Structure 1
Amino acid sequence: MAIKNKIIDADVHPWINGDIEGLKPYLSKSMWSHFDGRMRLPDHPLRPPLAESTSIRLDTKPPSGGAGGSDPHYVCEDLLDRYNIEHAILSSVQAGKLVTYPNPNEAHALASAFNDYFLNEWLTVDSRYKLAICVAVHQPLKAAEEIRRAGKEKGVVAVFMPLFNILMGNSYYFPIYEAAEELGLPILIHPTGTEGGFSTSVAMAGGVPSSYIERHTDFPQVAYGNIVSMVFEGVFVRFPKLKVLAAEFGYSWVPSVMWRMDQNWRNFRREVPWLDKEPSKYLLEHVRFTSQPVEEPEKGKYLSQIFEMMHAEETLIFSTDYPHWDNDFPDNTFTNLAETLSQRIFYDNAAELFNLK
């Protein structure tokens, strides 16, 4: 099928072969010595065996060797050129695993190393690559310093914030939001593969899942709780230019959370006197969601209704999730949309969010 739209892919995951070992040129000698013997980033105990081969499509493996998504030249050929993608937003789930480290110095060193790696090894290869720099939220003031350091580099368009078990509306994160707003960078949140598995990572609602499929199904809980927290705690009042992208958390739940927030605001608005309009209005103005994983209701008309209820023309952004096993391609995603809505989802909403117009 011919792809008529210009496309921005808001969720592409580059990989570094060797994990921490691949970061050696970007770590200080003392920090490299510090990590000696611990070359693998922690992974969730529920992830299936051979996680690298099961989560990353085998057909994305580059001719040069290594895992899918590890060769920026091959990703250009296999994804950007093939589907005529104008910009690809790089967010490293691999880097997101640094949230498992209780030692803030280790976490900050890894965040900086990941950022420098992608700035030097990916953004120099092709101008279509754009980067969501990663920060360690262990010490928000240091994270803000990293945003002001790496966030000024050409091609940086967002801040990837792997989450602690502290809701995003908490003032703990304010230094990060201040720095991001100052540089005009949206905050990107995304599953890190560590949720519910480590003391420092985000907890799952109601308890600890006992299987991978259960945990994977529960991902929307993370975004739901944090967005509600940001709205009611007044984050978007305090930081009126701040934007947030919830990537890979789904979107079919968005209408119900807007309705529920508005209903409760009408009943309990005296608890949040800083909100001068319906909570849903803050969500529509400040929060965006990615299309992958595309949710497939029983009837096609239900998807159209969800789009209408969530104001998809403003809030939904196309993403592939390349090179993961469940990624979506632009030639078979939302193929029956009206041209105007398709243009908004595949290009305009992302161009506005990431300042790419």
Structure 2
Amino acid sequence: MTQAKERVPATAEVPVRVVDSDVHPVPRPGVVAEYIPEKWRKFLLSHKVGDTINYDAPDYAHAFAMRVDAFPTDGGFPGSDPDMMFKQLIIEAGSDIAVLEPSSKFTRIPEASSAMCTATNEWLANHWLDSRNNWHQRWRGSICVSIEDPQGAVAEIEKWAGHPHMAQILIKAEPRPSWGNPLYDPVWAAATKHDITVSCHLSRGNYETMPMPPVGFPSYNHDFMVTYSLLAANQVMSLIFDGVFDRFPSLRIVLVEHAFTWILPLMWRMDAIYAARKSWMTIKRKPSDYVKDHIKFTTQPLDYPEDKTELSRALEWMEAEKILLFSSDYPHWTFDDPKWLLKHLPEHAREAVMFKNGIETYKLPTTVPAVESQTRVW
């Protein structure tokens, strides 16, 4: 512990060449409880049931959908040890900056969800972004907010937007109505006021907050996983056709872990409808232009067809260099190593996807303090 407190960043700097936009820290048992506002503490800590679909990832019974080598030796859960994550993600995998996206409990009561976000933000700031655990300056945090409680969300944004290591606002896609509704305008206004990106990570929710396809809940986890892309597609359409980007022209949205190859046919379809019904619409540009200027997608999960040339063509057609951000999804079993992902990108898009888009999207530095023995992907 004495050694950890004495660690300081190196004076030498190295260029940022990998920005990882999806990394999951996890609190140790009981740590977040002290940060939950007392009004909601008992409610949030006592309700432990509600998931209606079990997650049946490989070896879930033993590894809980995590990398088996990511379990700390002290018996903690993967993602709970900043030093272990630093070793595996920064030193060994070669990421230079990692955007941390903690999971926050999602309830049917908007104010309760906001209370959990408040606690999560305090925990992240005190246990990951502090000088002891972020001595290397590689961690960037997320301001977790409950978008279904716009007033509470704005309060959290105002509280944390000035923090030097908070890089984005983190929301979920499940709450209804869709994002184009003026109900959420205060959240978009706060984000643009502080020039901070809004990211949306997939989640499960409980009860009626589960993401539901138009024909009802699916039967199995594998088809449920596919519905995340459908949910994201609906939010993209709502943002564009309901005029959010015209009302907030500097708004930046990132869709995390919702896949991305579906955006190409969606852009084609939206543009076709726009061409046919332009006189009926109030938006000012082609839908695909809004996507390329305002929306980014993370690379994980990467749809990988048997014929790799099909993926290469799709990446070219969708202009991947404009809309993709590298992500590893550490420490989950679906982890994508940056060295592996790099090989599947068109050569001209590699710098943009692996680090340039991340630096621009999250307003990150172009260099970071050097650390000894780090794998350099480039």
Could you say whether these structures have the same fold, taking a TM-score greater than 0.5 normalized by the shorter chain as the test? yes
Which one of the candidate residues 223, 226, 229 is aligned to 1:217? 226
Q: CA RMSD in A?
A: 2.0
From the superposition, tell whether residues 34 and 214 of structure 1 become closer, same or farther in structure 2 (CA, over 3 Å): closer
In the other structure, the counterpart of 1:147 is: 157
Instruction: Specify the alignment match of 1:67 in structure 2.
Output: 77
> Which one-letter code corresponds to 2:160 in the other structure?
A
Within-5 A mapping of 1:141-180: 141-163=151-173, 164-180=175-191
Rounded Cα–Cα distance in structure 2 between residues aligned with 1:206 and 1:52 = 33
SS at match of 2:209: coil
3-state SS, counterpart of residue 142 of structure 2: strand
Contact 2:19 2:97 (8 Å CA) reproduced: yes
Kept in 2, the 8 Å contact 1:5–1:343? The answer is: no
Q: In the alignment, which residue of structure 2 is the partner of 1:229? A: 238
Give me the whole-angstrom Cα distance separating, in 2, the residues matched to 1:304 and 1:329: 19
Q: CA deviation at 1:262?
A: 0.6
Kept in 2: contact 1:244–1:287 (CA 8 A): yes
Deviation at 1:117, TM superposition (A): 0.4
After superposition, residues 325-336 of structure 1 pair within 5 angstroms as 325-335=333-343
Q: Which moved more, 1:338-347 or 1:147-156?
A: 338-347
Secondary structure in 2 aligned to 1:199?
A: helix
Residue pair 2:312, 2:346 contacting (<8 A) in 1 also:
no
Determine the C-alpha separation between the residues in 2 that align with 1:278 and 1:33.
Answer: 49
Q: Is the 8 A contact 2:44 2:116 kept in 1?
A: no
Match of 2:376 in 1: none
Consecutive unaligned residues of structure 1, counting only runs of 5 or more, are: none
Q: Of 299, 302, 324, which aligns to 2:307?
A: 299
Q: Deviations over 1:250-304 (max 9, x none)?
A: 111111111111100011122322x222111011100001100111112121111
Which residue matches 1:27?
Answer: 36
Provide the identity percentage. Answer: 28
Counterpart Cα distance in 2 of 1:54 and 1:28: 29
Shift of 1:104: 2.6
Distance verdict in 2 for CA 1:69–1:260, change over 3 Å: same
> Is this contact kept in 2: 1:135–1:161, CA < 8 A?
yes
Amino acid at match of 1:54: F
1:117 aligns to 2:128 (yes or no): no
User: Could you list the runs of 5+ residues in structure 2 that have no partner in the other structure?
Assistant: 1-14, 366-378
1:103 and 1:265 mapped to 2: Cα distance? 37
Is residue 229–residue 259 contact of structure 2 (8 Å, CA) maintained in 1? yes
Shift of the 29–52 alpha-carbon distance from structure 1 to 2, 3 Å rule, reads farther
Query: Given the alignment of the two structures, is residue 11 of structure 1 paired with residue 22 of structure 2, yes or no?
Result: yes
- TM-score (normalizing by structure 1): 0.91
Larger RCO of the pair (alpha carbons < 8 Å, separation 6+): 2
- What is the distance in 1 between the residues matched to 2:43 and 2:222? 35
CA distance in 2, matches of 1:224, 1:115: 28
Distance 1:147 1:44 in 2: 31
Distance in 1, Cα, partners of 2:272 & 2:53: 39
- Counterpart residue identity of residue 226, structure 1: Q
Cα 1:154–1:299 shift into 2, 3 Å: same
In structure 2, distance between residues paired with 1:172 and 1:202: 19
1:220 alignment partner AA: S
CA distance in 2, matches of 1:25, 1:70: 17
**Change over 3 Å in CA distance of 1:25–1:228 after alignment to 2:** same
Residues 204 and 211 of structure 2 are in contact (CA less than 8 Å); yes or no, is this contact kept in structure 1?
A: no
Amino acid at match of 1:152: G
Shift of 1:123: 1.0
1:188 is aligned to 2:194? no
Which residue of 1 is the match for residue 369 of structure 2? none
Aligned amino acid, residue 191 of structure 2: A
Deviation at 1:323, TM superposition (A): 0.7
The SS at the match of 2:238 is helix
| C-alpha distance in structure 1 between counterparts of 2:145 and 2:199, whole Å | 11
**Would the alpha carbon gap of residues 142 and 336 (structure 1) be closer, same or farther in structure 2, given more than 3 Å must change?**
closer
Distance 2:303 2:44 in 1: 40
1:192–1:337 Cα change, 3 Å: closer
